[in-house]
Amino acid sequence: MKTKRNLIQIWLLCAAMLQAVTSGAQPVTKVAAGGYHSLFLKSDGSLWAMGDNQFGELGDGTDNNAFRPERIVVSGVTAIAGGTLHSLFLMSDGSLWGMGYNGNGGLGDGTYGNRNQPEQIVPSGVTAIAAGYNDSLFLMSDGSLWAMGYNNDGELGDGTFTYEWYTNQPERIVNNGVTAIAGGVTHSLFLKSDGSLWAMGDNQFGELGDGTGNNTNRPERIVTNGVTAIAGGNGHSLFLKSDGSLWAMGDNQFGELGDGTYNNAFRPERIVTNGVTAIAAGGGSSLFVKSDGSLWAMGYNAFGQLGDGTYGTAAPYGTNRPEQIVASGVTAIAAGGEFSLFVKSDGSLWAMGYNYYGQLGDGTYNWTNRPEQILAAYNQISIQLLSSGDVLLSFVGIAGANYALDRSFNLAPANWVPLVTNPAGSVGVLVFTNTPNAATNNFWRIRSVP
């Protein structure tokens, strides 16, 4: 299911008719962050991954880390989820797939063997997915909630604290009515169709929001109605209400709740009164987006994951109030273990924070405390006819990656002739100059090469 080749084709009329145009293809649409790896989808339904791969969580058939995005599935992917050491995705036919660490049965395939390539877990009917530490959740089209994997803290919600601490096959937890799910590191959250919020699992910091510090192995209702979105982090939880307000509970040692203190909260507390549209909870940090497209962050910042231009090198290592990071244009967010990802409305992918495993995908292992563009908007190709008669092709790809220019004089059949290979520059810009044949149609393609 994996290919190493990213092919972008453009076609031009004869040289005398050329005009400057821009071709847009495959903007990034969704992002997910695991412990130290990243996943994203493009508009063509392709799945891409980068970062930590010691257990095969990237699904590329190896256990080698990747510091640049690599395509794992060519098309048809509709949803993604990153756990600490494993990954899940859905296909358009409703099938559930997984890869990575499986020592606690989090892939749900009936074994405890790790997988470095995607394997199908459920053949059809799955509508939503979430991943935690080494556990997984999914919803079926009938509104039932299913779970598998690590269960030492009761995060599966099956009424046990499993003696062996895990189960390696999906088990049904709730029969119907579930509409959304989220996995924290060792706790789980879900919403029902009446807008109620439910939680189970580890509660030592108050992340379940029930007013106690007691773990629970059965779902318990936390909020009766009005909840529209949920996110689980490392010991803390976030949720949105229908009025656009942001609420938080749980661990707050780094200020990740954003309430102006460093005190844990065992009950939900309102952080922002209105206007919030998206949330993400990571390893001691939190992100949210407002209706104007602005990105805000709070919490742990030792590796620059908040993207505010600083590193929190002294206790408490972060900020306990939301601060604006990007003024506008943000459409999707994800928070991982000390790093953050976001997508802008032009389809560009951005990242900041810890990068030891290459999870930012910028071709380095250096972390950054400012948002860095990883993929430019729409993989832009600009075409311009020069006065010399040459054609100037400008392409925005992945910085430092190699791309080849091929030409054919027709497409039926195509006879692609390699012309030149160049690396993209530090911001991903690549320029080819070539002379077209004015007597015939010319067809070019730009493809990534090793």
The ranges assigned to domains in the chain are: 7-22+380-449, 28-376
Compare 402 and 58 and report the one with higher pLDDT: 58
Position 21 pLDDT exceeds 80: no
Q: 244 Cβ partners below 8 Å, 6+ apart?
A: 274, 275, 276, 277, 291
- Span of 70-74, 302-306, 363-367, 391-395 with lowest mean pLDDT: 391-395
Fold topology of 7-22+380-449: Immunoglobulin-like (2.60.40)
Query: Residue 44: its pLDDT value, please?
Result: 86
pLDDT digits (tens, 9 = 90+) for 191-225: 999 999 999 999 999 999 999 999 999 999 999 99
Domain 28-376 has CATH 2.130.10.30: yes
Amino acid at 319: T
> Is it true that 7-22+380-449 and 28-376 share their CATH fold?
no
* pLDDT greater at residue 404 or residue 188: 188
List, as own/partner pairs, every contact residues 163-168 make where C-beta atoms lie below 8 angstroms and the sequence separation is at least 24, other chains included: 165/104, 166/104, 166/105, 166/106, 166/134, 166/135, 167/105, 168/102, 168/104, 168/105, 168/107, 168/108, 168/109, 168/110, 168/111, 168/112
φ/ψ region of 403 (left if φ > 0, alpha if ψ in -120 to 50, else beta) reads beta
Query: Mean pLDDT over residues 40-58, rounded?
Result: 95
CB atoms inside a 10 Å sphere around CB 315: 9
Q: What is the pLDDT of residue 4?
A: 30
CA count, 13 A, side-chain hemisphere, 108: 24
Residue 17, C-beta contacts closer than 8 angstroms, at least 6 positions apart = none
Q: Which residue has the higher pLDDT, 377 or 148?
A: 148
Residue 54: pLDDT band (50, 70, 90) is very high
SS3 content of the chain, % helix, strand, coil (to 5): 0, 50, 50
